[in-house]
Structure 1
Amino acid sequence: MTIKVAVLALDGVVPFELSTPGQVFGTANEAAGAPHYELRVCAPGRSATTSPEHGPFRIDTPYGLEGIAEADTVVIPAHAGFLAPPPPAVIEALQQAAARGARLAAVCVGAFTLAATGLLDGYRATTHWQYADELARRHPRITVDPAVLFVDHGRLLTSAGVAAGLDLCLHLVRHDLGAAPAAATARRIVMPLQRDGGQAQYIERPTAPTDPGALQPLMQWMEGRLDRPLTLAEIAGHAKISVRTLNRRFRAQTGATPLQWLLSARMDRARLLLETTDLPITLLADRTGFGSPATLRHHFTRHTGTSPHAYRAAFRQRGPGEGADGPARVPPAPQAAAD
């Protein structure tokens, strides 16, 4: 099954966010050794100019808005004019895509474009923290959460600023293809896979500057010991720093505490083992550091909404390359905001 991805390019589109889906989904094709994704850039009039603040250039594409009509997933990047109402043709194209069951994913302030369609009314959503209040003011029927990387409602997704678009696209790869292809994709683009949607955004705060790569050796050391009951004292001791410094550096560089990051890494390992092995749950709990099946079930259900047994059965039933929620369908009618 090939998943057709349309990336909407409006005038003023941010170049990095325009290229993010192609980078992630194209790399996923390479990592999987199969063309799971078909990418197309779609622009009104088949051309667009990128945002002037980021080195403007003009792009021409074979696809206009009609390209969205055939897409399984539509990615909506940020663009410079996001505070102005989108062209009616753009709103109509997105609404029609949603009506036939396409997945719509907004990156950064692309959430304003998606919100203008009315599709997010009644749902929780996120955007870049700087513009969260404005999104909430303009669209009071949306519950805006400025403190997370992305929000996934199945067919409607929103993400925070810039780099969170990478997290969102990797999340979609994991959803579509499974943990192993997603991990391989993350390694190829040198991106950590452990940044889950509920992780905090990098909201501006007074912190000392740090070396972005300083924690990487420590993270690799921790990943190599996921089967062990690591404590903060042990982790800090290996890094030769105090527990206080360890916590401060992790929050500054990942937005999470060391133990939150460790739990996320263990969850990724559990998903991978459930998808790729027939290990009994007892042994799987040992290898992922949860210690007991009960503890594994507790954390797994809390993070994924399903049990390890059900997750394994569902993955085996649908197989890699199929969406976890089955065939495309029309999003449910807006209700009270829910996760």
Structure 2
Amino acid sequence: MYTTVVLALPDAIPFDLATPIETFGRVRLPDGRPGYRTLVAGPERDIEAGPLRLTVDDDLDALQRADLIVVPGRENPLAPAPPAVLAALRTAADRGTRIASICVGAFTLAEAALLDGLDATTHWLAADEFKRKYPAVQVNPDVLYTDNGKILTSAGAVAGIDLCLHIVRNDYGTVVAADAARLAVAPLHRPGGQAQYIVRNRAPSRPTTLDQVLPWIEDNAYRGLALADIAAAAGLSVRTLTRRFKDETGQSPLQWVAGVRIRQAQELLETTDHTVDRIAAQTGFPTTSNFRSQFGQVVGVTPGAYRKVFRPGPHRPADEAVLAKATPVFLPENAKLL
């Protein structure tokens, strides 16, 4: 049996706290014994976690008895962690303890200097701030989780379940991991390198010279837009438009348009039963093959696979063949995760 310690920090995100408790708590070995003993420890006895007030039974000494430490995210990931917590994490890492973070919990690992020179991920909304604050870390916001052996990180929300089941699979094999996933009512395997299903062309957070043209693009992306069309709407020359887009969004105007179209296509895939051909036409892609290609490059999966995740709909026999290819069938000997 492995001892897992979930670190309860001030202002912890409740979902992130619950994820390892629930996931590891559902692990049963073939003989019925639990696979993990899960404890919750913190620097203080009473911890605030969003709207919750928690009483923690174990102090930071528990980290030194752990086989695995899980660090949940905090509502304010930029808030300094208590020095005693950072020291305890470093001591545990020096002992060879596995340490994993969920969502923006990666900020705590980075603050403890445990991610320097390693691959890591975090919630995509926090990725840019993470890169600025911790340039020594190799941040990849486009994956669900990273595994460096002893140090692991995950992206936001459900990716924490992905990471926990990945750990279970490494510890006990696919049979046990599949059973834990079924008990948690979670599909069993999304590889760590799978994309986070997001398109990174959110509008700049502060006023820019593009404030008028960005909404215009949202409303007109279904049209066959050329650079000249966008420049005319912005009242700028093509050269000035291109320069300002690069300076203020990090993308070219047409890259931005493609991102808008893909986000709109995602919404249609999630909320309608329209065919892929129809969605391609509705969102302004010149051909269905062009839509499939760009969608796959940006989102990391096909439009059909994306729809199966976010709009499963009524069970259809055709889905079985797709799922059989994407995810092993988990009889008493195979397992994967959502």
Q: TM-score, normalised by structure 2?
A: 0.64
Retained in 2: the 8 A contact 1:42–1:64? yes
Retained in 1: the 8 A contact 2:68–2:98? yes
Question: How far apart are 1:35 and its partner, in Å?
Answer: 2.0
Q: Report the counterpart of residue 60 of structure 2 in structure 1.
A: 65
Tell me which of 306, 310, 321 is aligned to 1:251.
Answer: 306
Question: How far apart are 1:45 and its partner, in Å?
Answer: 1.5
Retained in 2: the 8 A contact 1:194–1:261? no
- 1:164 is aligned to 2:159: yes
Question: How far apart are 1:194 and its partner, in Å?
Answer: 2.1
- 1:183 is aligned to 2:182: no
1:46 maps to a residue whose letter is: R
Please give the per-residue CA displacement for 1:28-53, whole angstroms capped at 9, x wherever unaligned.
137761122011111112220112xx
Q: Report the counterpart of residue 299 of structure 1 in structure 2.
A: none
Please give the per-residue CA displacement for 1:128-183, whole angstroms capped at 9, x wherever unaligned.
01111111111111110010000001100000001101000011110111000101
Q: 1:165 to 1:191 in 2, by over 3 A?
A: same
How far, CA to CA, are the matches of 1:155 and 1:253 in structure 2? 33
2:327 maps to a residue whose letter is: A
- 1:35 is aligned to 2:34: yes
Q: Which has the larger radius of gyration?
A: 2
Question: How far apart are 1:249 and its partner, in Å?
Answer: 3.4
Unaligned runs of at least 5 residues, structure 1: 215-241, 276-339
- 1:138 is aligned to 2:138: no
Retained in 2: the 8 A contact 1:149–1:160? yes
3-state DSSP class of the match of 1:58?
strand
How far, CA to CA, are the matches of 2:43 and 2:112 in structure 1? 17
Q: Report the counterpart of residue 10 of structure 2 in structure 1.
A: 11
Question: How far apart are 1:15 and its partner, in Å?
Answer: 0.9
Q: 1:184 to 1:58 in 2, by over 3 A?
A: same
Retained in 2: the 8 A contact 1:82–1:113? yes
How far, CA to CA, are the matches of 2:195 and 2:323 in structure 1? 12
Q: Report the counterpart of residue 108 of structure 1 in structure 2.
A: 103
Q: TM-score, normalised by structure 1?
A: 0.64
Q: Report the counterpart of residue 283 of structure 1 in structure 2.
A: none
Tell me which of 249, 267, 270 is aligned to 1:208.
Answer: 267
What is the aligned length? Answer: 238
Question: How far apart are 1:270 and its partner, in Å?
Answer: 12
Question: How far apart are 1:19 and its partner, in Å?
Answer: 0.9
Retained in 1: the 8 A contact 2:44–2:56? no
How far, CA to CA, are the matches of 1:209 and 1:39 in structure 2? 41
Q: 1:260 to 1:73 in 2, by over 3 A?
A: farther
How far, CA to CA, are the matches of 1:271 and 1:123 in structure 2? 35
RMSD (Å), alpha carbons: 3.0
Retained in 2: the 8 A contact 1:31–1:185? no
Identical-residue share of aligned pairs (%)? 42
Unaligned runs of at least 5 residues, structure 2: 200-262, 274-287, 293-300, 311-318
Higher relative contact order (CA 8 A, sep 6+): 1
Q: Report the counterpart of residue 228 of structure 2 in structure 1.
A: none
Tell me which of 317, 324, 327 is aligned to 1:265.
Answer: 327
How far, CA to CA, are the matches of 2:145 and 2:98 in structure 1? 15
1:174 maps to a residue whose letter is: R
3-state DSSP class of the match of 2:146?
strand
